[in-house]
Amino acid sequence: GAAFWQTISGEHGLDGSGHYNGSSDLQLERMNVYFNEANGDKYVPRAVLVDLEPGT
């Protein structure tokens, strides 16, 4: 799950703390697909992924 969110965050121009550092209007237009905007221009994931298989 963590690798997925790191990839998606990078593709949307977010740093590790959820702040937007990108340069594309398209990134901001599509931000709400995976993220909700929180206080202070910070974005948080819209879902929690849970892996029930041990070792994956």
Residue 49 has pLDDT above 80, yes or no: no
Q: Is residue 10 part of a domain?
A: yes
Q: Is residue 55 part of a domain?
A: no
Mean pLDDT, residues 45-49 taken together? 83
| Beta strands 42-45 and 35-38, pairing class | antiparallel
Which residues lie below 8 Å from residue 55, measured CB to CB, with a gap of 6+? Answer: none
User: pTM for this structure?
Assistant: 0.74
Residue 56 has pLDDT above 70, yes or no: no
Q: Is residue 18 part of a domain?
A: yes
Query: Residue 52: what pLDDT?
Result: 87
**How many distinct structural domains can be found in the chain?**
1
Q: Tell me which residue range forms the domain holding 16.
A: 2-45
Q: Is residue 19 part of a domain?
A: yes
Question: Using one digit for the tens of pLDDT, what is the confidence trace for 15-44?
Answer: 999 999 998 999 999 999 999 999 878 999
Query: Residue 53: what pLDDT?
Result: 86
* Rg value, the chain, Cα: 12
